[in-house]
A and B are shown apart, each in its own frame.
Chain A
Amino acid sequence: MKKTISLVAALMMVSGGVAAHPFNDAFNEQRAMYGKGHSFTWNGQTYLTDHPEEVAAAAEANATNATALLAAAKDQYAQVLAVDFGWTLTKGLLKSAGKALEAGKFQDSMNLSAQAQYHSRMGLVQYEQSQAEWIMAVPQ
């Protein structure tokens, strides 16, 4: 499980720029066809169609994990805001995750934190990709 997560995370972080990343393509295709938690092979390795955030949210639903996930999600949100690429719905998700945590609904909280963190991670990917790609839209 751990090895799968680290490779997924590493390759997703590296994806940036013009080249379509082969692993991302395979991942997205498999997830579109089979949904979450589906097992597939790529280049001889086995992977799951789960985002790193979803894997983290699948951990035991308790106060410790929920608090840690919310903190991580808030931290990632601060990072993406710092580069001006925040998404508008993220703040609401973090707020709901906090409320769920207070109400003792740990699994709900972890799911919402996972969603919020996904938003922020995607915003950062968006930021990185835009550096190389924006020029392509300019009429010549």
Chain B
Amino acid sequence: MKIIKVLLAGVSLAFLASTSQAATSGKTLATVDPEADRLALQSHFQRRFPQVALSDYVNGIYALDAPSREQWQDIEDFPPYEFDIEEGEILFNKTFANGKSYADCFTNGGIGVRQNFPRWDDSQGKIVTLELAINQCREANGEKALGWKKGKIAQISAYMAYTSRDNVFDLKIPNNGAKAAYLDGKQTFYTRRGQLNMSCANCHVAGAYIKIRADLPGPALGHVTHFPVFRSKWGNLGTLQRRYGGCQKNVRGVPQKTQGDKLRNLEFFQTYMSNGLVANGPGARK
């Protein structure tokens, strides 16, 4: 009896090893090809929705669904994030106690730079999101860091996004460090998690524009260009990292750390997928 048990375990392990060799292309640092990934994602959506222009994907589900597009356009007449942009501008221009300001931390004084984030920072050896850059600027100038998910950081981010509208995303992957971060984000995006065992891709690639309860998930292409977002459900403005936490909780998984390595890499991957599309934040969504 004991021999049979051990054999069974051994056989299944060997079987496991051989089948996992089958799909390795694109999952290792040596084989991953970000440009090929990006183009593959674009053609996936173009095949499903031949009538939709690539540039329209920055509007998310409203690029695919006419009835909700109509409602959204009405809302955009008087966007709910308008006051946040005004507040954000005031906060952005306010000098720190030491006399410096955000303009000193960013190229072009922080105006029209949204499309450069997230970026690989070699000296730090990690991906830097816009909100991380904002807080690093604060701390470098003796100010306390802001909360990551909503409130002031979202308003500053909204103002910076607003000044960058229509600028094209063109994120770079300059070296293996950046590539590894990209790959890590790619893996997170396609990995099933939580008690409901779902991945981002389940809802936003295969499941885009397919009803999940009463909602239609938006497509992964152009997913992140409009952040920060005024979400009707929140009744206020929130960052992309805030939404990540909510989504992970939706599949009954304990969310990964806000602005931690995993979620910053995920944001990098998602934004790279939107290269070629324009920044159009802040946005309004259901």
A contacts B directly in the complex (CB < 8 Å)?
yes
Provide the A104-123 mask, 1 if CB < 8 A to any CB of B, else 0: 00000000000000010000
Question: What residues of B have a CB within 8 angstroms of the CB of A7 in the complex?
Answer: 5
Q: Are B199 and A87 interface neighbours, CB within 8 A?
A: no
Distance in angstroms between the alpha carbons of A23 and B41 in the assembled complex: 37
Question: What residues of A have a CB within 8 angstroms of the CB of B172 in the complex?
Answer: none
Interface positions of A from 1 to 57, Cβ below 8 Å from B: 3, 7, 10-11, 14-19, 21-23, 43, 45
Taking the nearest CB of chain A, how far is it from the CB of B8, in angstroms? 7
Q: Are B12 and A135 interface neighbours, CB within 8 A?
A: no
A-B contact pairs, 24 of them (CB 8 A): A10-B9, A17-B16, A18-B22, A21-B12, A43-B4, A81-B254, A84-B256, A84-B262, A86-B253, A87-B253, A88-B194, A88-B249, A89-B252, A126-B193, A130-B191, A134-B187, A134-B191, A134-B199, A135-B23, A137-B199, A137-B206, A138-B40, A139-B44, A139-B205
What 10 new A-B contacts, CB under 8 Å, besides A3-B1, A126-B193? A17-B17, A18-B22, A19-B12, A19-B19, A45-B1, A84-B254, A84-B256, A84-B262, A134-B187, A138-B40
Q: Which of B17, B26, B193, B195 sits near A138, CB closer than 8 Å?
A: B26
Q: Which of B9, B44, B202, B252 sits near A11, CB closer than 8 Å?
A: B9
The yes or no answer to B192 lying at the interface (CB within 8 A) is yes
Q: Are B197 and A126 interface neighbours, CB within 8 A?
A: yes
Question: What residues of B have a CB within 8 angstroms of the CB of A134 in the complex?
Answer: 27, 187, 190-192, 199
Question: What residues of B have a CB within 8 angstroms of the CB of A68 in the complex?
Answer: none
Distance in angstroms between the alpha carbons of A36 and B66 in the assembled complex: 49
The yes or no answer to A103 lying at the interface (CB within 8 A) is no
Q: Are A139 and B23 interface neighbours, CB within 8 A?
A: no
Question: What residues of A have a CB within 8 angstroms of the CB of B12 in the complex?
Answer: 11, 14-15, 19, 21-22
The yes or no answer to A140 lying at the interface (CB within 8 A) is yes
Q: Which of A16, A17, A87, A133 sits near B252, CB closer than 8 Å?
A: A87
Q: Are B190 and A138 interface neighbours, CB within 8 A?
A: yes
The yes or no answer to A132 lying at the interface (CB within 8 A) is yes
Taking the nearest CB of chain B, how far is it from the CB of A132, in angstroms? 4
Distance in angstroms between the alpha carbons of A132 and B187 in the assembled complex: 10
Q: Are A137 and B190 interface neighbours, CB within 8 A?
A: yes
Q: Are B40 and A130 interface neighbours, CB within 8 A?
A: no
Question: What residues of A have a CB within 8 angstroms of the CB of B197 in the complex?
Answer: 126
Residue of A nearest to B8 (CB): A11
Provide the A82-104 mask, 1 if CB < 8 A to any CB of B, else 0: 00111111010000000000000
Chain B residues near A (Cβ < 8 Å): 1, 4-5, 8-9, 12-13, 15-17, 19-20, 22-27, 37, 40-41, 43-44, 186-187, 190-195, 197, 199, 201-202, 205-206, 249, 252-254, 256, 262
Question: What residues of B have a CB within 8 angstroms of the CB of A15 in the complex?
Answer: 12
Taking the nearest CB of chain A, how far is it from the CB of B257, in angstroms? 8
Distance in angstroms between the alpha carbons of A10 and B12 in the assembled complex: 11
Chain A residues near B (Cβ < 8 Å): 3, 7, 10-11, 14-19, 21-23, 43, 45, 81, 84-89, 91, 119, 126, 130, 132-140
Residue of B nearest to A24 (CB): B12
Q: Are A17 and B20 interface neighbours, CB within 8 A?
A: yes
Q: Are A14 and B15 interface neighbours, CB within 8 A?
A: no
Looking at A22, A45, A137, the one whose CB has the most chain B CB atoms below 10 A away is A137
Question: What residues of B have a CB within 8 angstroms of the CB of A87 in the complex?
Answer: 194-195, 252-254
Taking the nearest CB of chain A, how far is it from the CB of B221, in angstroms? 11
Distance in angstroms between the alpha carbons of A17 and B17 in the assembled complex: 8
Distance in angstroms between the alpha carbons of A3 and B5 in the assembled complex: 10
Distance in angstroms between the alpha carbons of A17 and B177 in the assembled complex: 28
Q: Are B199 and A136 interface neighbours, CB within 8 A?
A: no
Distance in angstroms between the alpha carbons of A3 and B4 in the assembled complex: 13
Question: What residues of B have a CB within 8 angstroms of the CB of A91 in the complex?
Answer: 254
Question: What residues of A have a CB within 8 angstroms of the CB of B41 in the complex?
Answer: 139
Q: Which of A10, A81, A89, A135 sits near B190, CB closer than 8 Å?
A: A135
Q: Which of A85, A135, A137, A140 sits near B24, CB closer than 8 Å?
A: A135
